A and B are shown apart, each in its own frame.
Chain A
Amino acid sequence: MTSVAILQIWIVAFFTLALFSFLYKDNPVYKLAEHIFAGLTAGYQVGLVWDTVVIQKLWDPMIYDGKWWLFVPGILGFLMFARFWPKYSWVSRVSLAFVMGTTSGVFITTQLHGLVLPAMKSTMLPLGGGGGLAQAVLAIIVVVGVVSTLIYFYFSKEHTGALGVTAKVGIWFIMISFGAHFGYTVMGRVSLLIGRVYFLFYDWFGTFSEIF
């Protein structure tokens, strides 16, 4: 293992332990690690956008490939900076209007066609689709779950009587869903902890024999 690789591992181990130290209590070492992480991320994002958007998508094609018309989105992007001066901030609305228009156009169709309609279709399962009784029961549960949950979020009428009972059924479905999410979240967070412990045990401890 090269000395650079060992140094790298020690830096990672230091920041891992620094962040874990918060579990005992807040402390300056944790704060240092947190601030360095925030600063690095911000710096990286600025460099990334500069290189992959301004240089690769705007400057290079305009200057070297003769795509002069790209100056239009370039100017629209530049106008966004007008927000820093209250007197001229209205200028940025031109760019924002363009962004909102294109985003709506792309996302409304994508979300409807790609997510909402297939999800609706999958709630309308046939009761006699060849899957037997279990399939039929599942199809009914799906419909009851969808309808009762939607009714729970219907706030234009007081939840009393039949509406109240259905909304209560909806709460049960929502709670079961929260339970599933919580269980999976625990697994996710424990996985991350396992990853860090693996790193400390194998990679970091592994460098000890090389150093000492």
Chain B
Amino acid sequence: MNIWERMQVIDRRWVYLMVALAVIIPFIIPMKFPISITPETQSLYDAVEALPDSSNVMLVFDYYPSTMAETEPMAVAAARHFFSKDCRVITLSNIPLGGPSMAENVTRLIAEEYGKVYGVDYVNLGYKYGYVSVLKGMGQSIESIFPTDNSGTPLSELPIMDSVVNYDDIAFIFEVADNATADYWIAIVNAGYGVPMGVGATAVMAPKFYAFVGAKQIVGLLGGMKGAAEYEILIDQKDAAFKGMDIQSLVHLLIIGLVVMGNVSFFFGRRKRSREKS
């Protein structure tokens, strides 16, 4: 058995070990791979930057805890950008498993950084079952769908909601998602009510959302950890996603190398087999 044939039957655990090393090494030795800004991230940043100060905006936490590594840096960066522009941030979630509590944790943490007050500068509406009815219902009245915030305080007692009745009063929606609810925000809220939207999607979902950018249904897109890292660079707050990109780049190089080696070994192995047959 020559080297090419041996490579084709390599135990998958060696690959796992190589990936583990590629993840751990940048922790010890930072590599500082360059990160370029994509037009989709830039246009999303520009759209938020162009909002008048103190606009009412929605930051939607439509992701499960399992994808926090990708999505939370997007939500954190978006919250920082909104608060830095003194926007009034309304958060909600269509995800029952952890959505409202993640919205609570992220916004409270970032609000403290910017000295923002709950109920005045931001509010967490929490979760309601049935996202299609929720999204449609908020077009009539947000209070009819969320009579109280996540902690049970009536919205009528929160000053931030004085100027907000429905989507007409929302200047921008930033949807951070790891599932199909983002499609419904686009199909129902953007198409139906014309509210400008930006989407932060997991990398697995990102290719699909380029079509929405092309169709101008969303102003921009953050695709996975790379998108989050780009946004962190643009708002000048390098954080978790930026730090993770060193590892991403190294693992990607490793996987590219493995794909090339796998293909080369396959073709050389095939040539040897056909030579042996003849």
- Also in contact, A44 and B190, with CB within 8 A (given A191-B70, A192-B66, A193-B23): no
Chain A contacts for B66, CB-based, 8 A: 192
Instruction: Let me know if A192 and B192 touch, CB within 8 A.
Output: no
* Other-chain contact of A115, B97, B132, B187 (Cβ < 8 Å): B187
- Also in contact, A193 and B19, with CB within 8 A (given A23-B13, A185-B203): yes
- Residues 106-130 of A, flagged 1 when their CB comes within 8 A of B and 0 if not, give 1100110111001101100000000
Interface status of A195 (Cβ within 8 A of chain B)? yes
| Residue of A53, A106, A186, A196 with most partner-chain B CB within 10 A | A186
Interface status of A212 (Cβ within 8 A of chain B)? no
Interface status of A49 (Cβ within 8 A of chain B)? yes
How many Å from the CB of B167 to the closest CB on chain A?
A: 14
Chain B contacts for A180, CB-based, 8 A: 207
- Per the CB 8 Å criterion, the residue count for chain A at the interface is 40
- Residues 129-164 of A, flagged 1 when their CB comes within 8 A of B and 0 if not, give 000000000000000000000000000000000000
Instruction: Let me know if A201 and B187 touch, CB within 8 A.
Output: no
Interface status of A96 (Cβ within 8 A of chain B)? no
Chain B contacts for A187, CB-based, 8 A: 203, 224-226, 248, 252
**A-binding segment of B1-9, B78-86, B214-222, B265-273:** B214-222
Instruction: Name the residue of chain B whose CB is nearest to the CB of A197.
Output: B23
- Also in contact, A184 and B224, with CB within 8 A (given A113-B187, A122-B216, A194-B244): yes
| Residue of B70, B132, B188, B211 with most partner-chain A CB within 10 A | B70
Instruction: Let me know if A191 and B186 touch, CB within 8 A.
Output: no
A-B contact count (CB 8 A): 118
Interface status of B31 (Cβ within 8 A of chain A)? no
How far apart sit A104 and B24, CA to CA, in the bound complex (Å)? 50
Instruction: Name the residue of chain B whose CB is nearest to the CB of A52.
Output: B129
Chain A contacts for B27, CB-based, 8 A: 197, 201
Instruction: Let me know if B255 and A186 touch, CB within 8 A.
Output: yes
* Other-chain contact of B247, A119, A185, A186, A194 (Cβ < 8 Å): A194
Which residues of B (235-275) have their CB < 8 Å from a CB of A? 240, 244, 247-248, 251-252, 255
How far apart sit A191 and B252, CA to CA, in the bound complex (Å)? 11
- Also in contact, A196 and B69, with CB within 8 A (given A52-B127, A122-B211, A187-B252): yes
Chain A contacts for B188, CB-based, 8 A: 110, 114
- Per the CB 8 Å criterion, the residue count for chain B at the interface is 48
* Other-chain contact of A113, B67, B192, B206 (Cβ < 8 Å): B192
How far apart sit A106 and B137, CA to CA, in the bound complex (Å)? 13
Instruction: Name the residue of chain B whose CB is nearest to the CB of A187.
Output: B203
Query: In terms of DSSP, what is the predominant structure of the interface of chain B?
Result: helix
Which residues of B (117-173) have their CB < 8 Å from a CB of A? 127-130, 132, 136
How many Å from the CB of A93 to the closest CB on chain B?
A: 22
Interface status of B52 (Cβ within 8 A of chain A)? no
Chain A contacts for B33, CB-based, 8 A: none
Instruction: Name the residue of chain A whose CB is nearest to the CB of B203.
Output: A188
Chain A contacts for B114, CB-based, 8 A: none
Instruction: Let me know if B215 and A185 touch, CB within 8 A.
Output: no
- Residues 28-45 of A, flagged 1 when their CB comes within 8 A of B and 0 if not, give 000000000000010011
Instruction: Name the residue of chain B whose CB is nearest to the CB of A24.
Output: B13
* Other-chain contact of B202, A45, A188, A193, A198 (Cβ < 8 Å): A188
Instruction: Let me know if B252 and A186 touch, CB within 8 A.
Output: yes
- Residues 188-208 of B, flagged 1 when their CB comes within 8 A of A and 0 if not, give 101110000000001110110
Instruction: Name the residue of chain B whose CB is nearest to the CB of A49.
Output: B129
Chain A contacts for B217, CB-based, 8 A: 118
How many Å from the CB of A50 to the closest CB on chain B?
A: 11
* Other-chain contact of A192, B70, B96, B186 (Cβ < 8 Å): B70
Interface status of A99 (Cβ within 8 A of chain B)? no
Interface status of A83 (Cβ within 8 A of chain B)? no
Instruction: Let me know if B186 and A115 touch, CB within 8 A.
Output: yes
How far apart sit A53 and B225, CA to CA, in the bound complex (Å)? 35
**Interface of A toward B, CB cutoff 8 Å:** 23-24, 41, 44-45, 48-49, 52-53, 56-57, 106-107, 110-111, 113-115, 118-119, 121-122, 177, 180-181, 184-188, 190-198, 201
**Interface of B toward A, CB cutoff 8 Å:** 13, 16, 19, 23-24, 27, 66-70, 96-97, 127-130, 132, 136, 183-184, 186-188, 190-192, 202-204, 206-207, 211, 214-217, 223-226, 240, 244, 247-248, 251-252, 255
Q: Contacts A190-B251, A198-B244 known; list 18 others, CB within 8 Å.
A: A49-B129, A52-B96, A113-B187, A114-B191, A115-B191, A122-B216, A177-B207, A184-B204, A187-B226, A187-B248, A187-B252, A188-B203, A188-B204, A191-B225, A192-B67, A192-B69, A192-B70, A194-B247
